[in-house]
Amino acid sequence: MKAMLALVVIGAVLCLPAGRTPAQPTPTMDTMITGAKTAADHEALAAQYDRNAADAKTKAAEHVKMGAAYKGQAAVTGGKVAAASAMPGHCEKLAKSFEDQAQMYTSMAAGERELAKAAK
């Protein structure tokens, strides 16, 4: 019985954090935007917009490849094989949308960097 109690106590102690504080949740964009006062705050926003731009560029490239893969393939519409798939056009529209998003995020990052310079 004492051995079992000792094991339970040791197990409980091992489950406790070793002098670490719990990880802080990542702030939401609206919180970051409304709280941006310092150069570091604006640089953090710029970095997030840079990540968003990179993600959008990746998605645009994926859709360009997908559109190319769909070209020349037949489509099934209403249970019947159609002459050509509409998917290449769909993928091209999505690629353009993601490219536009990437440009917007890049502009937003530049704007935040200007605000960071002004805050210094």
The tens place of each residue's pLDDT in the chain, 120 residues long, gives 666 555 555 655 555 555 556 667 788 999 999 999 999 999 999 999 999 999 999 999 999 999 999 888 877 766 677 667 788 999 999 999 999 999 999 999 999 999 999 997
Q: Which residues contact 91 (CB under 8 A, 6 or more apart)?
A: 63, 64, 66, 67, 70
In 3D space, the residue among 103, 113, 99 whose CA is nearest the CA of residue 62 turns out to be 99
Flag whether the pTM goes above 0.85. Answer: no
Backbone Cα Rg of the chain: 26
For the chain, the structural domain boundaries read: 59-120
